[in-house]
A and B are shown apart, each in its own frame.
Chain A
Amino acid sequence: MPAPIRLRELIRTIRTARTQAEEREMIQKECAAIRSSFREEDNTYRCRNVAKLLYMHMLGYPAHFGQLECLKLIASQKFTDKRIGYLGAMLLLDERQDVHLLMTNCIKNDLNHSTQYVQGLALCTLGCMGSSEMCRDLAGEVEKLLKTSNSYLRKKVTLCAVHVIRKVPELMEMFLPATKNLLSEKNHGVLHTSVVLLTEMCERSPDMLAHFRKLVPQLVRILKNLIMSGYSPEHDVSGISDPFLQVRILRLLRILGKGDDDSSEAMNDILAQVATNTETSKNVGNAILYETVLTIMDIKSESGLRVLAINILGRFLLNNDKNIRYVALTSLLKTVQTDHNAVQRHRSTIVDCLKDLDVSIKRRAMELSFALVNGNNIRGMMKELLYFLDSCDPEFKADCASGVFLAAEKYAPSKRWHIDTIMRVLTTAGSYVRDDSVPNLIQLITNSVEMHAYTVQRLYKALLDDISQQPLVQVASWCIGEYGDLLVSGQCEEEEPIQVTEDEVLDVLEGLLVSNLSTPVTRGYALTAIMKLSTRFTSVNRIKKVVSIYGSSIDVELQQRAVEYNALFKKYDHMRNGFHLSLLMIINFRFFVVLSSFKMVQVCLSCLCVVPILQANDLLDLLGGNDVVPVIQNTVSTKPASAGGELLDLLGDLSLSGIPPMTAYNKNGLKIDFTFERANPNPNIAVITIHASNSTEADMTDFVFQAAVPKTFQLQLLSPSSNVVPALNQGTVTQVIRVLNPQKQQLRMRIKLTYTHKGSAVQDLAEVNNFPPQSWQ
Chain B
Amino acid sequence: MRFLLLFSRQGKLRLQKWFTSMSDREKKKIIRDMTTMVLARQARSCNFLQWKDLKIIYKRYASLYFCLAVESQENELLALEIIHRYVELLDKYFGNVCELDIIFNFEKAYFILDEFLMGGEIQETSKQIVNRSIEASDMLQEAVTAYLNIKFQKCT
Residue numbers in A under 8 Å from B136 (CB-CB): 117
**Known contacts A78-B148, A290-B77, A326-B48; is-contact A87 B140 (Cβ 8 Å):** no
Complexed CA–CA distance, A601 and B68 (Å) = 57
Complexed CA–CA distance, A627 and B116 (Å) = 75
Chain A's nearest CB lies how many Å from the CB of B33?
A: 15
**Known contacts A160-B119, A325-B46, A359-B45; is-contact A235 B125 (Cβ 8 Å):** yes
Complexed CA–CA distance, A193 and B18 (Å) = 19
Q: For chain B residues 19-41, which have a beta carbon within 8 Å of chain A?
A: 19, 21-23, 28
Q: Mark A346-371, 1 if CB is under 8 A from B, else 0.
A: 00000000000111110000000000
Tell me if B145 counts as interface (CB < 8 A to partner A). yes
- Count B-side interface residues using an 8 Å CB cutoff: 51
Q: A51 near B125 (CB under 8 angstroms)?
A: no
Residue numbers in A under 8 Å from B122 (CB-CB): 192-193, 196, 244, 248
Q: A323 near B46 (CB under 8 angstroms)?
A: yes
Contact of B119 among A95, A162, A247, A360 (CB under 8 A): A162
Q: B129 near A189 (CB under 8 angstroms)?
A: yes
**Known contacts A78-B148, A322-B46; is-contact A327 B118 (Cβ 8 Å):** no
Complexed CA–CA distance, A60 and B121 (Å) = 27
Contact of A117 among B75, B107, B140 (CB under 8 A): B140
Q: B119 near A235 (CB under 8 angstroms)?
A: no
Q: B141 near A80 (CB under 8 angstroms)?
A: yes
Residue numbers in A under 8 Å from B140 (CB-CB): 79, 115, 117
Complexed CA–CA distance, A163 and B119 (Å) = 7
Chain A's nearest CB lies how many Å from the CB of B53?
A: 14
Q: Which of B13, B78, B133 has the most CB of A within 10 A?
A: B78
Residue numbers in B under 8 Å from A156 (CB-CB): 118, 123
Q: A78 near B144 (CB under 8 angstroms)?
A: yes
Complexed CA–CA distance, A604 and B13 (Å) = 66
**Known contacts A290-B75, A323-B48, A358-B45; is-contact A189 B125 (Cβ 8 Å):** yes
Residue numbers in A under 8 Å from B19 (CB-CB): 128
Complexed CA–CA distance, A124 and B148 (Å) = 26
Q: B21 near A95 (CB under 8 angstroms)?
A: yes
Contact of A326 among B46, B75, B85, B124 (CB under 8 A): B46
A161 nearest in chain B by CB position:
B119
Residue numbers in B under 8 Å from A120 (CB-CB): 133, 137
A115 nearest in chain B by CB position:
B140
Residue numbers in B under 8 Å from A529 (CB-CB): none
A126 nearest in chain B by CB position:
B119
B72 nearest in chain A by CB position:
A330
Tell me if A84 counts as interface (CB < 8 A to partner B). yes
Q: For chain A residues 135-177, which have a beta carbon within 8 Å of chain B?
A: 152, 155-156, 159-160, 162-163, 166
Residue numbers in B under 8 Å from A15 (CB-CB): 103
Q: A322 near B119 (CB under 8 angstroms)?
A: no
Residue numbers in A under 8 Å from B78 (CB-CB): 243-244, 247, 287, 291
Complexed CA–CA distance, A11 and B22 (Å) = 27
Chain B's nearest CB lies how many Å from the CB of A356?
A: 9
Residue numbers in B under 8 Å from A189 (CB-CB): 123-126, 129
Contact of A327 among B76, B125, B137, B145 (CB under 8 A): B76
Q: For chain A residues 269-304, which have a beta carbon within 8 Å of chain B?
A: 283-284, 286-287, 290-291, 294
Q: Mark B72-109, 1 if CB is under 8 A from A, else 0.
A: 00011110111001000000000000000001101100
Contact of B121 among A8, A196, A324 (CB under 8 A): A196
Q: B144 near A283 (CB under 8 angstroms)?
A: no
Complexed CA–CA distance, A669 and B78 (Å) = 81
Tell me if A629 counts as interface (CB < 8 A to partner B). no
Q: For chain B residues 41-81, which have a beta carbon within 8 Å of chain A?
A: 44-50, 75-78, 80-81
Q: B21 near A287 (CB under 8 angstroms)?
A: no
Q: B106 near A159 (CB under 8 angstroms)?
A: no
Chain B's nearest CB lies how many Å from the CB of A492?
A: 47
Q: B77 near A83 (CB under 8 angstroms)?
A: no
Residue numbers in B under 8 Å from A11 (CB-CB): 103-104
Chain B's nearest CB lies how many Å from the CB of A126?
A: 9
Complexed CA–CA distance, A326 and B129 (Å) = 34
Chain A's nearest CB lies how many Å from the CB of B51?
A: 11
Complexed CA–CA distance, A26 and B126 (Å) = 42
Tell me if A768 counts as interface (CB < 8 A to partner B). no
**Known contacts A78-B148, A128-B118; is-contact A58 B16 (Cβ 8 Å):** yes
A357 nearest in chain B by CB position:
B44
Q: For chain A residues 635-691, which have a beta carbon within 8 Å of chain B?
A: none
Complexed CA–CA distance, A290 and B48 (Å) = 15
Q: For chain A residues 179-235, which have a beta carbon within 8 Å of chain B?
A: 188-189, 192-193, 196, 234-235
Contact of B114 among A12, A124, A237, A248 (CB under 8 A): A124
Q: A193 near B121 (CB under 8 angstroms)?
A: yes
Q: A234 near B144 (CB under 8 angstroms)?
A: no
Complexed CA–CA distance, A612 and B16 (Å) = 60
Q: B118 near A124 (CB under 8 angstroms)?
A: yes
Residue numbers in B under 8 Å from A7 (CB-CB): 107
Q: A283 near B119 (CB under 8 angstroms)?
A: no
Residue numbers in A under 8 Å from B103 (CB-CB): 11, 15
Chain A's nearest CB lies how many Å from the CB of B15?
A: 8
Q: For chain A residues 96-115, which have a beta carbon within 8 Å of chain B?
A: 96, 115
Residue numbers in B under 8 Å from A699 (CB-CB): none
Residue numbers in B under 8 Å from A80 (CB-CB): 141, 144-145
A15 nearest in chain B by CB position:
B103
A294 nearest in chain B by CB position:
B75
Residue numbers in A under 8 Å from B124 (CB-CB): 155, 188-189, 192
Q: A361 near B75 (CB under 8 angstroms)?
A: no
Q: B104 near A361 (CB under 8 angstroms)?
A: no
Residue numbers in A under 8 Å from B118 (CB-CB): 123-124, 127-128, 156, 159-160
Chain A's nearest CB lies how many Å from the CB of B6?
A: 10
Chain B's nearest CB lies how many Å from the CB of A316?
A: 10
A64 nearest in chain B by CB position:
B24
Q: A323 near B119 (CB under 8 angstroms)?
A: no
Complexed CA–CA distance, A55 and B128 (Å) = 29
Complexed CA–CA distance, A188 and B129 (Å) = 10
13 chain-A/chain-B pairs, Cβ below 8 angstroms: A58-B13, A58-B106, A94-B22, A117-B133, A117-B140, A120-B133, A120-B137, A128-B19, A159-B123, A162-B119, A235-B126, A290-B75, A361-B46
Known: A152-B133, A189-B124; 11 extra A-B contacts, CB below 8 A, are A51-B107, A54-B106, A79-B137, A79-B140, A120-B133, A131-B21, A243-B78, A244-B78, A284-B81, A324-B77, A327-B48
Interface residues of B (CB under 8 A from A): 13-16, 18-19, 21-23, 28, 44-50, 75-78, 80-82, 85, 103-104, 106-107, 110-111, 114, 118-119, 121-129, 133, 136-137, 140-141, 144-145, 148
